[in-house]
């Protein structure tokens, strides 16, 4: 619903960008003033700006998939176009009213052509940088100590991933990178903290290939996952969902996908691994899924455990850290935030989340939030990274 209310702003923004771009092109070359060129340009621009709606309403097909991929790139380019032109317009207004620059120079064709060229260069550089950052997975490493007896273990190597968002944007190439980086670390256990899918299972082009790639994950104790808010079958428009009275749950094909890939889903489940440490998988708060009407509180979870053993809790969203820490959890692992994914959103996540990404010590609890492997929305990352997290846990 929110997407529908924001649509007038989206339309006005695109009309403004199209108009200003045509103005700049006309200054750069008289050939761009011709009716034929302008009709082609406007038609192409209308298609790009409408691609997000076309991908939403068209039935699944090869054409729809191409359009969906186009809109993920266009959405990012549009973001940095608005940001760049907004800053340029602000500078122009400051110069105009402060009269630092003479009015005739400020209104000159040459300055307009030069400033437009600078804006275009900035948009291209930011977009290319964002695409590169989004498509290259990096490693992040942490060393932590838990002041408990690890039973048979002196240390535990954990590989943590989250927010794969398998679908139109994320496919085999990113998953191969992720699997190679995880396996290279030779982890004892692999954990995937939600948002494995990007809502629409049919958005996955070749599920069999992805199952084959993910089944290559190797660890001593196996691969475990929880679901996130996007592991539910529902339509999304511009990042927003539509209200429904029905409980939103995963597509049964998602569950089968994980099973065949050798990934064990743990929803509101506690496992004692090798009689040495507990692994707890919590349901997502927003989309708890089938079989879960209400999540157990951290206190309820801990009441049934031997608190002398290390307790690792994995869930999707890094909420209620104080409550989790007070209950006696030793290591809390999450994803969800993407660390804001793109600038300037990456500057705001610390306002929303106590630990928006990275490491935080909360009492005796270690909180680690990964910025994730995949993407949501624009196919870009700027100021953040796609990552696989390696955690070396030392027991005392």
CA–CA gap between residue 391 and residue 396 (Å, rounded) = 16
Closest CA to 275 of 150, 381, 114, 94: 150
Whether residue 263 contacts residue 221, with contact meaning beta carbons closer than 8 Å, is answered with no
In the prediction, which pLDDT does 1 show?
A: 53
CA–CA gap between residue 81 and residue 205 (Å, rounded) = 30
Predicted TM-score (pTM) of the model is 0.91
The per-residue pLDDT string of the chain (396 residues; one tens digit each, 9 = 90 and over) reads 555 666 888 889 899 999 999 999 999 988 989 999 999 999 999 999 999 889 888 888 889 999 999 999 999 999 999 999 999 999 988 988 888 878 888 888 888 899 999 999 999 999 999 999 999 999 999 999 999 999 999 999 999 999 999 999 999 999 999 999 999 999 999 999 999 999 999 999 999 999 999 999 999 999 999 999 999 888 777 666 666 667 778 889 999 999 999 999 999 999 999 999 999 999 998 888 877 888 899 999 999 999 999 999 999 999 999 999 999 999 999 999 999 999 888 888 989 999 999 999 999 999 999 999 999 888 999 999 999 999 999 998
What's the Cα-to-Cα distance from 142 to each of 240, 294, 346, 396, rounded to whole Å? 34, 33, 21, 17
Domains in the chain (CATH in brackets) are: 2-133 (no CATH), 139-395 (3.60.21.10)
């Amino acid at each position: 619903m929110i997407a529908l209310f924001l649509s007038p702003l989206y339309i006005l923004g695109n009309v403004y960008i199209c108009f200003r771009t045509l103005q700049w092109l006309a200054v750069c070359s008289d050939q761009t003033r011709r009716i034929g060129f302008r009709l082609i340009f406007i038609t192409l621009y209308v298609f790009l700006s409408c691609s997000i709606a076309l991908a939403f309403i068209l039935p699944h097909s090869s054409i729809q998939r191409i359009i969906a991929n186009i809109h993920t790139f266009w959405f990012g380019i549009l973001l940095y176009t608005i940001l760049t032109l907004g800053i340029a317009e602000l500078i122009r207004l400051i110069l105009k009213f402060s009269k630092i620059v003479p009015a005739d120079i400020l209104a000159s064709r040459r300055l307009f052509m030069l400033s437009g060229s600078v804006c275009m260069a900035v948009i291209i550089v930011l977009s290319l940088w964002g695409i590169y950052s989004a498509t290259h997975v990096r490693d992040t490493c942490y060393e932590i100590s838990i002041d408990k007896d690890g039973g048979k273990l002196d240390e535990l190597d954990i590989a943590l991933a989250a927010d794969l968002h398998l679908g139109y944007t994320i496919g085999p190439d990113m998953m191969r990178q992720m699997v190679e980086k995880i396996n290279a670390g030779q982890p004892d256990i692999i954990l995937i903290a939600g948002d494995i899918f990007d809502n629409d299972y049919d958005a996955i082009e070749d599920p069999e290939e992805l199952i084959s790639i993910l089944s290559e994950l190797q660890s001593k104790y196996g691969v475990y996952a929880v679901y996130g808010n996007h592991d539910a079958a529902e339509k999304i428009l511009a990042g927003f969902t539509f209200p429904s009275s029905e409980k939103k749950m995963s597509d049964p094909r998602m569950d089968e996908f994980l099973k065949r890939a050798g990934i064990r889903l743990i929803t509101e489940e506690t496992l004692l691994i090798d009689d040495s440490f507990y692994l707890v998988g919590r349901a997502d708060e927003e989309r708890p899924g089938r079989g879960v009407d209400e999540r157990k509180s951290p206190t309820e979870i801990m009441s049934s455990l031997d608190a002398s053993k290390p307790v690792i809790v994995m869930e999707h969203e890094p909420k209620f850290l104080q409550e989790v820490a007070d209950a006696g959890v030793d290591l809390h692992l999450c994803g969800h935030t993407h660390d804001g994914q793109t600038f300037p959103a990456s500057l705001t996540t610390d306002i929303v989340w106590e630990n928006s990404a990275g490491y935080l010590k909360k009492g005796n609890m270690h909180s680690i939030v990964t910025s994730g492997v995949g993407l949501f929305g624009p196919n870009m990352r700027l100021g953040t990274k796609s990552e696989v997290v390696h955690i070396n846990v030392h027991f005392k």
